[in-house]
Chain A
Amino acid sequence: MINNVKAWLEDGIVDVFLGYREMDHHHLPHCFTREHMEEVDDLVISQVRYPLEKIATHMTEMDPDIKIGMLARDCNDRALNVLFLWNQLKAENVSTLTVNCCPSRLKEHGDCSYLTPEKAGVFKKQVGVDNNLEVEELDTYGRKERLNRWMYEFQKCIKCYGCRNICPVCFCKECSLEHDELIKTGPLLPEIPIFHMVRAVHMAGRCIDCGLCEAACPMDIPLRLLYGKVSQIVKDVFDYDTGSSALESPFNILGDKVALEPKPMEPAIAVNE
């Protein structure tokens, strides 16, 4: 693999290569270039994951024609598909070196085993949402208690914007979460549940279930579950597997191929006096 990278750099297929390197027993992301070829010998594949695609978008912003190579796991591949779709990266400028990885919820052979969240304590299981649940199990909560359980989780939010900053497919310059007139930016406790629901709606058609948001949340809010439910809804209603192809998406304004009818209103239940 190291030889592959060296060959790519020398032949000019890529200008820079984003991978991981070990420094002082920490695996850190590193940008390997042609000028420092000897560093490529330190390239490692480690269990830690950083949003390399986001760094690629920053670099492309400054220099639109730069050719970037990166170490790509399954989740990275899906993220790159989404970024190609939304015109943040050019497909011909990015080359990926596929790395074996654990599978995930969106792909059958996947199950990112090192993403397992911590075991939930007794109180959290009683009044909140357990991070370890599957998306289907979320329906077992009754109608009335769902709101209470999710509000318990959302109230812990400290509005660090970690979930948005580290998300590889979040790229808006003017984020609605920071817009003063949509969501008040002042008070520390964000307006819940609108903060997380706005984020969830924006993740429709974009979230690829990489799990970086839940890993970055200091309060252990079950974000993977929330956005997993969003992905499931997108699959059920629009029949679209997020991240599987870089060609079209039901949420691209030009791709209006999905024809839907608005749901009819269900009649009112008689009020029990």
Chain B
Amino acid sequence: MECQFVPSVCSYCGTGCGVLFEVINGKIVGTLPMKTHPVNEGKLCLKGWNLHEHINSFMRVKQPLVKTFGRFIKTDWQEAISLTADRFRGIINQYGPDSIGVLVSAKITNEENYLAQKFARAVIGTNNVDHCARL
């Protein structure tokens, strides 16, 4: 019986409360708040308390999926990326670059946010960049 307590940060909103995962035999079975964390001091919201269910949910997407004839078919990364790139190129040629918008998030790093807006502005050529906190 292997039991560990792994400290981590909640992945939902931008607050970043400290959580402890109860890992028994290599599987996450429970979530506890971290009492000495300066942000939350031992308190969690409903989303934070149920992180262990989110991680182990059967509804998590594990492979890229492509919608073919109305149904989702599993593919691999290479095909998914080239398909997306071709479709973006097609849309830009047909409707112009401003038809694509990019949404960034509070739970990815600042560097990834910068990368996303650079991608939107330099590669796609649009200023339509927005953030999940504004929604």
Contact = CB atoms under 8 A, between A and B. Distances in A.
Interface string A48-74: 111100010011001100100000000
Majority SS of interface residues in chain A? mixed
A110 interface: no
Nearest to A18: B3
A171 to B, nearest CB: 13
Interface stretch (A79-87, A213-221, A225-233, A255-263): A213-221
B32 A63 contact: no
B32 to A, nearest CB: 6
A66 B24 CA distance: 13
Interface residues of A, number: 32
B12 interface: no
A28 interface: yes
Interface residues of B, number: 25
Interface in B1-42: 1-5, 7, 20, 22, 24-25, 29-30, 32-37, 42
Interface string A1-40: 0000000000000011000000101111111010000000
Given A26-B34, A26-B37, A31 B3 contact: yes
Interface of A: 15-16, 23, 25-31, 33, 48-51, 55, 58-59, 62-63, 66, 158-162, 165-166, 215-218
